[in-house]
Amino acid sequence: MVATYFLVLSFGVLASIFINFGTGQTAVVELRQAAHQPQAQLKIAAQVLSLRFWAFCLAIFVCSSLPFLVNKGIYYLCAIPLLMSEWINPQYFLIATYKIKQYSILNLIIRLLVFLLIYLYKSNNEIVAIALGSAGMGVLLLHILYLPSAFLKKIAPYLPNYTQTKQFIKAQSLVLGNGLTVHLQQSLFLFSLPNFVSPVFLSAYGLIDKLISSGRMLVNAYSAAVMPHAAGVHQQSKVHWIQLKKQQNKILTAICLVAAIIIYFFPEQILMVLLWGKKNTDAQFFHQASLLLKLISPVPLLIALNVLNVTELLLEKKYLAYFIAGILVLFVASLFILFIRLGLPISLAGYYPVLMEGSCLLIYFLILKGIKSGNR
């Protein structure tokens, strides 16, 4: 059941990335650049809602088909509230208008309540459905609360027609492509693991994969908070942007180094908190998860060092380079999976997250260096 939870969750995240269609990144920049143009902002909101609608319809179709196609596919229906919440996700608007504080507090409260609900029903036979459904419904209700301010502000006259929507889809597809490839390199490995590892390793890796995703979300949230200011600074001067980037990289490095030290030296304590102190419930699982947690300790730092490289590509509107970077990362992931299948020691599977995040950092650095060299 644990493996089912992580597989459905991975699908939900992948589908959410598809529904978002890269608007969570590009719309922030566009809104900041149109800060004093109310009509332009309404037009951007209309474009975002329209783009996401078509992606949302396709994602719902796929999600509704999975119960007939895969084992325990009925659980994938629990992801529907999460998909609906992503369609009306207001974060891009709240970040761009510096109104994210209240949303973040409410989001934290909802997640804590969901966490409490899962704890109360931890022994229930349908805990997977409860965990997935409650998390999705909580976020959906939060996004409905912000629906009027983010989308329903007289945007009807600005909704694009079919031809315009196709143009927007084409423009955003490169950004979407990168988002999908980044998640696919995680999902492909997770989905391929059952073919050559034990159920214990799979469950332990699923937990670690979830922790990495949570860590990436925190780093991306920090980046999103900086994005509106970064967009303004980047418009003023590239020199100022470089200074800001160096400053933020120092802050992120310090925070993530502390996190890496804690993860490496105190893996058992961290797991005790995450598993409600159930160390003796499954000693083999606990031991395997502890080993994997130590192996991925550098991952938050690698993610943090790369997040502003991603921001720079978006600010420069180098969407093709952004897409190519994602493809290269996916290629590295595919090679590693292939080598595992061909006989690479399975003990190396635990190093996969470090390998991928290290590859991301190197690939984005080289692409940015190449762009800067070409502009000279």
Q: What are the sequence ranges of the domains in the chain?
A: 1-160, 163-376
Distance CA 350, CA 222 (A): 27
Looking at residue 27, its pLDDT comes to 85
Q: Is-contact 293 348, C-beta < 8 A?
A: no
Q: Residue 313: what residue type? A: L
Collapsing DSSP to helix, strand or coil, 78 comes out as: helix
Collapsing DSSP to helix, strand or coil, 317 comes out as: coil
Shortest CA distance to 309 belongs to which of 240, 223, 188, 218?
Answer: 223
Q: What is the Cα gyration radius of the chain?
A: 21
Q: Is-contact 24 91, C-beta < 8 A?
A: yes
Q: Is-contact 31 44, C-beta < 8 A?
A: yes
The phi-psi region of residue 160 (left if phi > 0; otherwise alpha if psi is between -120 and 50; otherwise beta) is beta
Q: Is-contact 328 366, C-beta < 8 A?
A: no
Q: Residue 162: what residue type? A: Y
Token pair belonging to 238: 């590239």
Tokens 């332990």 sit at which residue? 204
Distance CA 326, CA 235 (A): 26
Q: What is the pLDDT along the chain (376 residues), one digit of tens a residue?
A: 566 777 788 788 888 888 988 888 788 878 877 777 878 888 888 888 888 998 999 999 999 998 888 777 788 898 899 999 999 999 888 888 878 888 888 988 998 898 888 878 777 777 888 888 888 899 999 999 988 888 877 787 778 887 888 888 887 888 888 878 877 777 778 777 777 777 788 778 878 887 887 778 777 777 777 777 777 787 777 888 888 888 888 888 898 899 899 999 988 888 887 776 555 557 788 888 889 999 999 998 998 889 889 888 888 888 889 889 989 998 998 898 888 888 777 778 888 989 999 999 999 999 999 987 776 5
- Please state, in angstroms and as integers, the Cα–Cα distance from residue 44 to each residue in 22, 194, 316, 319, following that order: 13, 43, 19, 18
Token pair belonging to 70: 């895969």
